[in-house]
Structure 1
Amino acid sequence: MTDRPTARPGRRLRSRARYRRILAFGLRMMLQTWWFDLVLPRLGLRAWSRRGQTARLTRSAARFRRLATDLGGLMIKVGQFMSTRIDMLPTEVTDQLAALQDAVPAAPFDRVRAQAEADLGMPLDRAFAAFTAEPIAAASLGQAYRARLTTQDATAVGYSDVVVKVQRPGIADIVEVDLAALRKIAGWLARLSFVSDRADVPALIEEFARTSHEEIDYLHEAAEAERFSAEFRTASGAASGRRDGAGVPCRAPQVVWERSTRRVLTLQDVTAVKINDVAALRDLGIDPSAVAGALAESMFTQLFDNGHFHADPHPGNIFVTPGLERGEFSLNFIDFGMTGTIDDTLRRGLTDLVIAVGTRDGAGMVDAMAGLGVLLPSADTTVLAEAMTELFDRFGGMAVADLQHVDPKEFEEFAHRFRDVIRTMPFQLPENFLLIMRAVSMLSGLCSTLDPQFNIWESVTPFATRLIRDRAGASATQVARRAVSSVAGTAKVITRLPGRLDHVITVVEDGDLSVNTPQVEHQLKRLERAAVRVVAAIVFVGLVVGGAVLRGSAGAGDSWSTAANVVGIVMMGCSALPLLYAVFGGRRVR
């Protein structure tokens, strides 16, 4: 069943107003960034623009929070993502956006009820034994309610308590309006060379559009939740007292297919302690640092073992369920509307990246980025590799708490140096890579929230060690196969070698040996022409400058000044010849 009724005049007016508000906010942010980050630094006012940067970001975050809360829809998703980036944004900014995790206004229940009953084909009091009218969560695209299955349905599935997600009425039209505005802003950004040289923003928006359409298809979400449960490695044991989080089960809720449609999704109720509720975890005897370790473990397992990952792991989508023993727990993921998959090529590139990070190999990290397609082949990565190596040497292995004790001036020096390098690199984001960045950054931010002493390096190292070991085993097998193939090829060459040597000796004795290197000769000719054109350009500059100096030094009235003025004019006129050769010389030579 679709959610596309005939648009009434009032709805069309609201859609146009929404569209204009998003465009106006995007344009304002673009102009602010252009002025303070590009124009002022070029005018020598970099220090002045940096001084008020945090205050500007805070004000912008507050304006965006008000806009997103008022509009809802995809704007909430953008704010939720940014609120987890405590590693990149000041706390003043993330604090402003953190409210978007929970404070999403709920749609009226009578509209939600009407839509749910229309999709289920029956009244709610017939589909469920009980259904609460107050939502337990109001998300950007849907709302969740607690309910209880009928005795017949509960007997069939083995549980009675469920959570029913109902899509927000009219959200499909809102998503289309938001995507239209984002596509317009992406078109503006694509016209800016410093953006288009580094990322295909329209392509990224289209990827975002695809995932957004999947999010409002609850049958797709149900299938992804079942796939997550089937693929994820669940180990026995607890994480009590362990910082690495190994052995912690990760689960997804079971789907009640008989009560699910494209706009209504009924799931087993797995809600427990919200993962970022540190006080509640401690009250239950659960170590937040162990939860951080388990979360990191789940992140790497999803990326490297399962090849299928939850792409929207904000705090509202992960719960910690206490175990039978004090300190034991499991992680329960919900909301699988946004997921991603990793093919073999992408997994190999990510493996190279993790191995480079685990071994603190700056050059290897840059090579892995190039292999992933993040860096274009034309990129000169030497300077970037040096910067990454220096970054690893200075800050590698530090936890978030350790970084707080580093001299801010040292951070600033590194940031300025690294920023200049980044701006010269032709970066791009391959397909599906944006979802990976989103998931990793969200989970990394959550780990740091749970445990300020959390050290991502300690989580990466075990995975890097295992990946190196697995790759070494695979490489040994490949080397053996290549050795067998090489022996066979060598034997074939050896059998033909005497005849070929005899032919070569005969050619040399007859004086018929010659070396033909057309590519080298062509390159030498091009180099020679380029050198001549450079000389012509130098002559042009010399004539123009010399002529200008002579004319400027000429006075008035005496014969020397007149002659200097004439010679200056002649020199500047003659400069046209070397200029023409410097620009067009040698173009027709092949």
Structure 2
Amino acid sequence: MTGERRGLRGSIPGVGDTRARYRRILRFAARYLVQSWWFELFLPRFGLGRFVARGRAARMTRIAQRFHVLAVDLGGLMIKVGQFMSSRLDVLPPEITKELEGLQDEVPPVPFPAIRAAAEAELGMPLDLAYAWFDEVPVAAASLGQAHRARLAALDEEISGFDEVVVKVQRPGIQEIVDVDLAALRRVGRWLSRVQVVAQRVDMPALVEEFAITSMAEIDYLLEAGNAERFAENAAGDARVSVPEVVWERTTRRVLTLSDVTAIKINDVDALRAAGIDPSEVARTFASVMFEQLFGDGFFHADPHPGNIFVTPLGSAGVGPGGGPNAAAAPSWQLTFIDFGMMGEVTPKLRRGLRKLVIAVASQDGKGLVDSIGDVGVLLPSADTRELERAMTQLFARFGGMGFAELQQVDPKEFRDFAVEFGDVVRDMPFQLPENFLLIIRAMSLVSGVCSALEPGFNMWEAIEPYAGQLMRDERGNVVQDAARQALSNAAVAAALPRRLDGFLDRIEDGRIAVQTPRLDRRLARLERAARRIVSAILFGGLLVGGALLRSTDEVFGAVLMAVSALPLAHALFAGMVGPRGPA
């Protein structure tokens, strides 16, 4: 709450009225929450579900478009919120994620005097002493900071071995803006956590906190500098990859100085061809490098959009990077990564979960697959997985054993039929992708987009297949051990089966068998709530009409009846929509 109170102090120089900003974010959220309640919860209760469904895609698109406008207007974390939401395929409909996936920092630069003051306050010296030259025109302006080219002073140049640098400086007052934006988002998360249909589907407060952690990391340039050095150490043996060097003497939490590595943007096909570089080779190399980060180092660049990846010609005529770091000749170009504020890590827990998932898929074990999904945190603890296990078992029965090439040849109608058949089961499950999964999906979606732009026929399945195979080979010993343990477990279950059957028969004879029918129970509960709402609606109508008639003879009593009618109306409209905090 400290950040929330600090963020609402009022007007901050160079930032604007933070109270107005806070209220504007909440007004936007409240407006579209009410709209969603009206269309998605209220109207379907009166038999208008088909009408709602016909206009759903257009409504979702309009909401996303208006949020886009709001985000660009406000800047700050709102642009990051849009980028974050565009990757939450587990939570948001595709109409929203698609509309927001192209959202980039579209903000005007901060006037140079304010940047100079911020940089000098951080570095503790005048800018003219810290750098031999500093360009007043920014290279790039973003919602959290902006970058300027500069030249190191003689002593720093001697220490570093280079003089051309890029200096990132945080926007003045950005910490206060972040505090305000997070305070507003936390309140919206609390609103949503009280809506039962949302709380059963996703833990909104946890989702907001996940975003908050990522956002706070992005405004800590010391953390970004450490990420850059760790990434460089991991890539030290790979001649295909280069990383800018950190100038620690001119780096603080709010100022970051890196060697200038500006080159050809990875998606500039014309410039690549003009430099004699094959875009298709760049696509294959880029995918290979990213997969090795995921399956090898486990520490990967989670924001590899075209603005963060350069292709740097080296001027040597040798085997291209597609030959790998062990190629016979030096590469003629490199992939240069920048901006290490958003990094992902494949944790040991995630590795174990992925290994279990591989085992389950290999053995076509529906229950094992669901268990492994739960192990990595994709399912909320409240999930009733029995229906999902049955769906996965049928999925394996229909598509199990098919390779990548075979799956690509399957009739799309069969996939659609399967999706329709099991759609209700999946939609009812409280899925939520944990942060590591989210970053993996974000990185892979960006890689796919970049590679497809470089080579229209690029096939992501073919690119990832060798690495998936390597993962299987690396984990083969663990797979055998786990399979052996599973066999022992199955043997133990088989040995205990006769005794359990005897006990089961005894309970039948004694009349002590209780049958649980969760789906029937849920339907009965819904019918009971519907009946109560119908009674409330009838009571509302009686009180309203009676009050209207009585007003002609007893105005006060008639008005009281009409006012009291609002209570059963509220029950008829809202009962069952709002529930307790968290999953039910």
**Counterpart AA for 1:10:** S
- 1:33 CA drift (Å): 3.9
| Partner residue, 2:514 | 530
CA separation in 1, counterparts of 2:509 and 2:241?
A: 65
| Partner residue, 2:450 | 446
Which structure has more relative contact order (CA 8 Å, sep 6+)? It is 2
1:318 to 284, 306, 309: 309
Query: Are positions 1:71 and 2:78 aligned together?
Result: no
- 1:354 CA drift (Å): 6.4
Query: Are positions 1:126 and 2:129 aligned together?
Result: yes
Please give the per-residue CA displacement for 1:496-528, whole angstroms capped at 9, x wherever unaligned. Answer: xxxxxxxxxxxxxxxxxxx99998699658963
Secondary structure in 1 matching 2:341: coil
1:288 to 266, 269, 279: 279
Describe how 1:298-313 pairs up with structure 2 within 5 A: 298-313=289-304
**Counterpart AA for 2:19:** R
2:107 to 104, 107, 111: 104
Note the residue ranges of structure 2 that are not aligned, 5 or more in a row.
321-331, 487-498, 522-584
| Partner residue, 1:257 | 248
Contact kept in structure 2, 1:358 and 1:464, CA below 8 Å: no
Describe how 1:143-542 pairs up with structure 2 within 5 A: 143-232=146-235, 234-236=237-239, 249-325=240-316, 328-353=332-357, 366-375=370-379, 376=381, 378-380=384-386, 381-386=388-393, 388-389=395-396, 397=404, 413=417, 415-430=419-434, 432-473=436-477, 528=512, 530=514
Q: How many residues align?
A: 487
CA distance 1:6–1:411, shift in 2 (3 Å): closer
**Counterpart AA for 1:153:** D
CA distance 1:354–1:445, shift in 2 (3 Å): farther
- 1:264 CA drift (Å): 0.5
CA separation in 2, counterparts of 1:533 and 1:301?
A: 47
Please give the per-residue CA displacement for 1:416-464, whole angstroms capped at 9, x wherever unaligned. Answer: 4453222222324446443333333333343344434222221221112
- 1:393 CA drift (Å): 7.0
Secondary structure in 1 matching 2:440: helix
**Counterpart AA for 2:512:** E
CA separation in 1, counterparts of 2:217 and 2:11?
A: 28
Query: Are positions 1:80 and 2:83 aligned together?
Result: yes
**Counterpart AA for 2:297:** N
Secondary structure in 2 matching 1:101: coil
- 1:19 CA drift (Å): 1.2
- 1:116 CA drift (Å): 0.2
| Partner residue, 1:141 | 144
Question: Comparing 39-48 with 297-306, which one deviates more in the overlay?
Answer: 39-48
CA separation in 2, counterparts of 1:333 and 1:355?
A: 34
Contact kept in structure 1, 2:384 and 2:429, CA below 8 Å: no
Question: Comparing 11-20 with 518-527, which one deviates more in the overlay?
Answer: 518-527
CA separation in 2, counterparts of 1:284 and 1:85?
A: 37
Identity %: 53
CA separation in 1, counterparts of 2:406 and 2:272?
A: 22
Please give the per-residue CA displacement for 1:207-226, whole angstroms capped at 9, x wherever unaligned. Answer: 22122222111111111110
Contact kept in structure 2, 1:62 and 1:97, CA below 8 Å: no
- 1:184 CA drift (Å): 1.0
Please give the per-residue CA displacement for 1:348-374, whole angstroms capped at 9, x wherever unaligned. Answer: 223455687899998775453233232
CA separation in 2, counterparts of 1:354 and 1:76?
A: 36
Contact kept in structure 1, 2:272 and 2:279, CA below 8 Å: yes
- 1:114 CA drift (Å): 0.4
| Partner residue, 2:63 | 60
CA distance 1:392–1:519, shift in 2 (3 Å): closer
Q: CA RMSD in A?
A: 4.4
**Counterpart AA for 2:473:** R
| Partner residue, 1:116 | 119
CA distance 1:95–1:530, shift in 2 (3 Å): closer
CA distance 1:31–1:129, shift in 2 (3 Å): same
Contact kept in structure 2, 1:105 and 1:138, CA below 8 Å: yes
Contact kept in structure 2, 1:447 and 1:454, CA below 8 Å: yes
CA separation in 2, counterparts of 1:357 and 1:451?
A: 31
Contact kept in structure 2, 1:360 and 1:396, CA below 8 Å: no
**Counterpart AA for 2:241:** C
CA distance 1:372–1:531, shift in 2 (3 Å): closer
| Partner residue, 2:575 | none
- 1:196 CA drift (Å): 2.2
- 1:192 CA drift (Å): 2.4
**TM-score (structure 2 length as normaliser):** 0.71
Secondary structure in 2 matching 1:187: helix
Contact kept in structure 2, 1:86 and 1:94, CA below 8 Å: no
CA separation in 2, counterparts of 1:382 and 1:316?
A: 42
**TM-score (structure 1 length as normaliser):** 0.70
Secondary structure in 2 matching 1:265: strand
Contact kept in structure 2, 1:26 and 1:185, CA below 8 Å: yes
Question: Comparing 171-180 with 373-382, which one deviates more in the overlay?
Answer: 373-382
CA distance 1:357–1:36, shift in 2 (3 Å): farther
